[in-house]
Structure 1
Amino acid sequence: MKKLTSMADLEGVRRSLKEQRLEAERQEKIKAAELKKLQDEANLFKKLVSDVTPLPNTNLKIHELEKPAPIARQRELDDEAVLWESISDEMDVERFLETDDKLSYRRNGVGVEALKKLRKGQWVIQAQIDLHGLRSDEARTAVGEFLRSSVKHDIRCVRIIHGKGLGSIGKEPVLKEKVKRWLVQKDEVLAFCQAPPRDGGAGALLVILKARQ
Structure 2
Amino acid sequence: MTAPDDEDDDAALFRDAVGPVRRLPERVAPPMPARPRPRARMAERDEAAARDEFRLALDEQLAEAGDVLAWRQDTVPDPVYRRLRRGEISAQEELDLHGADARTAEALLRAFLADALRHGLGCVRIIHGKGGRGHADFSSSGAPVLKNLVDRMLRQRASVLAFHSAPPAQGGTGAVVVLLAPSKRR
Any stretches of 5+ residues in structure 2 without a counterpart?
Answer: 1-26, 62-66
What amino acid sits opposite 2:148 in the alignment? E
What amino acid sits opposite 2:124 in the alignment? V
| C-alpha separation in 2, matches of 1:74 and 1:115 | 37
Distance 1:116 1:76, change over 3 A: same
| C-alpha separation in 2, matches of 1:121 and 1:110 | 16
Is the partner of 1:90 in helix, strand or coil? helix
Q: Please say which structure displays the higher CA radius of gyration.
A: 2
Aligned match of 1:208: 179
| Deviation readout 1:126-146 (Å, 9 max, x if unpaired) | 001000111101101110110
Q: Which has the higher helix share?
A: 1
- TM-score, normalised relative to structure 1: 0.57
Aligned match of 2:38: 73
Query: Counterparts in 2 of 1:55-204, with a 5 A limit?
Result: 73-74=38-39, 86-87=50-51, 88-91=54-57, 102-169=68-135, 172-204=143-175
| Deviation readout 1:73-107 (Å, 9 max, x if unpaired) | 246996x99x979431332776xxxxxx7442101
Any stretches of 5+ residues in structure 1 without a counterpart?
Answer: 1-39, 44-68, 95-100
Is the partner of 1:154 in helix, strand or coil? coil
Is the partner of 1:108 in helix, strand or coil? coil
Aligned match of 1:36: none
Give, in angstroms, the shift of residue 182 of structure 1: 0.8
| C-alpha separation in 1, matches of 2:180 and 2:151 | 14
Cα RMSD between the aligned structures?
Answer: 3.5
Number of residue-to-residue matches in the alignment:
144
CA contact (8 A) 1:85 1:144 kept: no
